[in-house]
Structure 1
Amino acid sequence: MRHSTRGDVDPFIVMDVMEAARAAEDAGRSIIHMEVGQPGTGAPQSALDALQADLSEPLGYTVGLGLPALRQRIARHYADVYGVDLDPARVVVTAGASGAFVLAFSALFDNGEHVGLGLPCYPSYRQILRAMGLDPVEIRTTAAGRYQPQPDDVAGLAGLIVASPANPTGTMLDRDELTALAQACNRAGTALISDEIYHGIGYGKRAVTALEVTEDVYVINSFSKYFSMTGWRVGWMVVPHDHVRRVERLAQNMFICPSHASQRLALHAMDARPELDANLDVYAANRALLLDGLPQAGFTAFAPPDGAFYIYADVSAYTDDARAFAAEILDKAGVAVTPGLDFDPQDGHRWLRFSYAGRTDDMAEGLRRLTAFMAAR
């Protein structure tokens, strides 16, 4: 049967690593998961308890832009956390951040247009762009620039995607850096998309939303990370006033609406901050373990992990094939890690990403295994 070229995208390597780890577990092996960016905790219990009452109702379609109560609560979140006065009419509830990216790229760009993304970055940006007939422009970032795009990178682009905290590096953009990028995009007529799905997971400083420095931006967030709701597949997007109806038409036709039950759970989760902030204590403890233990194991060079729950380590002293190195670590040490090729097809062959989103006991055991593996190598 014939097929389109839209499916000719690279695999999401971390999912392949997860499958290899699952197969090893099915064979009876003990595997420590440091590959996947998934919180070791589930949705907040208080929110799950509140959802039980909602399930007695027939949860039919919601309107395409999402539950009005959830959109209003998200707008209040921006006032509470960032001091931003946000009109709820600008909030679009989406089928996870992935659904938001599809909507954003559809609303902003025509076939063949160039959209910039700084390497290393979340791999699905470029794969979704390619599947939609767009041209991802890979921007080489530097350690001096904290692995983030710079204002000079904007020229000639229809759009620019930035993420703070970033995946896989964990680096963050401060207010001045975001302002400079927003101003450069405005001068160049470049659409700015700010991926903020790791907001709320930081260590020592608050993440800055792009809405603090400009209204001419698409901001994308998710309930998957801070709110610990990965499998519920619900997120949100904030768009300029004059883009709301355009996005609404696309959302109605592409998705009808996000899951009603997921939206209800998200609404309850927004009032579960004490429980969610307790999760941050786990991430902070895990981060401290890895910052101390990875150099002892031999992984001494990595990006500064300001936020999220990843450490992106340079392993060029040991290999020029990170994918094979990750497979060796899984086979011999029983630790699943993600090769950098997922995030950077140019230089990712010499990097690994370690996720510390799991239980602290598992992270400690993973470090013990990694140290023994490196010592025996």
Structure 2
Amino acid sequence: MTLSPSTRSAVPPFAVMSILSRVAELRAAGRDVISLCAGEPAAGAPSDVRRRLAELMSGPAPLGYSETLGIRPLREAISGHYDRWYGLAVDPGSVVVTTGSSGAFTLAFLAAFDAGDRVALTRPGYPAYRNILTALGCEVSELDCGPAERFQPSVAILERAHAEAPLAGLVLASPANPTGTMVSSDELAAITAWCRETGVRLVSDEIYHGITGSGPELAGGHGSCAWTTDRTALVVSSFSKYWGMTGWRLGWCLVPDDLSSGFDALAGNFALCAPVPAQHAALGAFTERSYAEAATAVETFADARQLVLAALPELGWGAVAPADGAFYVYAELGGALGEYPDSVAWCAALLETEGVAVTPGTDFDAVRGGGTVRLSLAAGPDAVAAALVRIRRFQARNAP
């Protein structure tokens, strides 16, 4: 009998991680590489988080398994964070600490959807949503949301998709990856109301909250939390972006009452608990100093974005998504694509010849992504400025 891999594992790799592997190979060979491909803030974890970890490692405290849902002090601190940013009372019992937001999405999809359920996503969008849902046997309905829609869904778009075949769920990201665009408070309220009335489960990705613009429609610059208007939604967030704690693998999910027991059971079977040292150290993320350090990092992302926007006329790139938040620039290459057949080849050549890693748009949009790229600004303005010098040189050498 011939053995074969599962069909569920036949999902595309996450291109960012493949590019990071190549970056590591080039650096190991002595190459100087500037990486603008991953959403990984250069500043890293706040100083109070690092201090707490050092104390934990040098102290007698046992670091065995925690409660499946996370240590109580951290769940209470996350609850307090919602009060601080949104004036929102969240029961710590509704907070589940997870192994990164990736763990939260896997658990959320398992708890909310069955195999065969149809779940809507925007295109372009974060590829792991699609790939996790596909591996779990769900049917993915991609909503074509381009510049005319500001890369975000609307009730009208959802109604059309639901009329084609009933939807069981919607994954909404605001700010979104790769575009950085957001839905306003009013738009979010309309979408959550439509989901509730139609029986569509909303999964709200809010991991880039805090890395946003300002204005009354953005709730003081943090974004609009879906939990405000819909306690049946699943709200996913993370320590990775605002606090720069990517490698700590720590996220959380606000879980509605009807999914709490299933979420608990799944979490206990899948991971037992989130990384315990990271949980204890993460209590340091909620100090005044940590909030201030994170806010300073956010300012550097805005500075880096201005560098890219100012360079666009010389680069000759096309349209750019009007990012409201996050730390990306998602742009059409236009005529700068030159002799290369698509952005995959363009990005590969840029990395190999100039040592600059950016992500081709095909990772986010299988239809139009061949003409787009995503630059991560998380490395900061100095790295972005140096990368732009190399990109200009690359394009000049390959100009017709």
Q: Report deviation, 1:31.
A: 1.4
Corresponding residue of 1:323: 344
AA in 2 matched with 1:250: L
Q: Which of 162, 181, 192 is the matching residue for 2:172?
A: 162
User: Contact 2:316–2:334 (CA<8 Å) still a contact in 1?
Assistant: no
- Does residue 204 of structure 1 match 2:214? yes
1:8-47 aligned within 5 A: 8-47=10-49
Alignment equivalent of 2:248, drawn from 228, 232, 245: 232
How far is the alpha carbon of 1:345 from its aligned partner?
1.1
Q: TM-score w.r.t. structure 1 length?
A: 0.97
1:203·1:284 contact (CA, 8 Å) conserved in 2?
A: no
- Given candidates 354, 376, 379, the residue that maps to 1:358 is 379
CA distance in 1, matches of 2:56, 2:358: 39
Q: Cα offset for 1:134?
A: 1.0
What is the correspondence of 1:140-179 to structure 2 with a 5 Å cutoff? 140-154=144-158, 155=162, 156-179=166-189
Output the CA distance in 1 between the equivalents of 2:228 and 2:354: 45
Query: Which residue does the alignment assign to 2:197?
Result: 187
CA distance in 1 between partners of 2:116 and 2:313 (Å): 44
The match for 2:286 is 270
Alignment partner for residue 356 of structure 2, among 330, 335, 352?
335
Give the distance between the partners of 1:256 and 1:198, measured in 2 at CA. 26
Aligned partners of 2:29, 2:54: CA distance in 1, in Å? 37
What pairs with 1:244-263 in structure 2 (closer than 5 Å)?
A: 244-263=260-279
Q: Who is 2:97 aligned against? A: 93
8 Å CA contact retained: 1:13, 1:338: yes
- Corresponding residue of 2:218: none
- How far did 1:203 drift? 2.9
Distance 1:318 1:291 in 2: 15
Opposite residue 109 of structure 1, the aligned amino acid is F
Question: Aligned partners of 1:317, 1:261: CA distance in 2, in Å?
Answer: 49
Residue 312 (structure 2) pairs with residue 294 (structure 1) = yes
Looking at structure 1, the residues matched to 145 and 302 of structure 2 have their Cα atoms a distance apart, in angstroms, of 27
Instruction: Provide the rounded CA distance (Å) in 2 between the counterparts of 1:212 and 1:237.
Output: 14
CA distance in 2, matches of 1:27, 1:60: 39
Mapped to 2, the partners of 1:35 and 1:347 lie a distance apart of: 19
CA distance in 2, matches of 1:352, 1:158: 31
Cα distance in 2 for residues equivalent to 1:72 and 1:200? 19
> What is the CA–CA distance in structure 1 between the aligned matches of 2:312 and 2:140, rounded to whole Å?
33
* Offset, 1:122: 0.6
Over the residues paired in the alignment, what is the CA RMSD in angstroms? Answer: 1.4
Q: Please name the residue that 2:140 is paired with.
A: 136
Contact map agreement 1:7 1:131 (CA 8 A) in 2? yes
The superposition leaves residues 248-280 of structure 1 with CA deviations (integer Å, 9 ceiling, x where unpaired) of 111111111001111112111122111211211
Say whether the 8 Å CA contact 1:298–1:374 is kept in structure 2.
Answer: no
Contact 2:53-2:278 at 8 Å conserved across structures = no
Distance 2:51 2:197 in 1: 49
State the AA in 2 paired with 1:219: V
CA distance in 1, matches of 2:149, 2:380: 32
In structure 1, how many angstroms separate the alpha carbons of the residues matched to 2:258 and 2:196? 16
Paired residue total: 377
Q: Which amino acid aligns with 1:47?
A: V
Partner of 2:234: 218
CA shift for structure 1 position 311: 0.4
Which SS does the other structure have where 2:82 is aligned?
helix
Structure 2 distance, partners of 1:141, 1:46, is 40
SS in 2 for 1:317: helix
CA distance in 2, matches of 1:54, 1:17: 34
Q: Are residue 368 (structure 1) and residue 389 (structure 2) matched?
A: yes
Deviation at 1:241, TM superposition (A): 2.1
* Deviations 1:47-92, CA, capped at 9 Å, x for gaps: 2112222332111111111111111111111111011111111111
Q: How far 1:164 moved relative to its partner?
A: 0.6
Return 181-190 or 119-128, whichever deviates more: 181-190
Q: CA–CA distance in 1 between the matches of 2:13 and 2:229? A: 35
Alpha-carbon shift at residue 126 of structure 1 (Å): 0.6
In structure 2, list runs of 5 or more residues that go unmatched. Answer: 216-220
8 Å contact from structure 2 (residues 316, 336) kept in 1: no
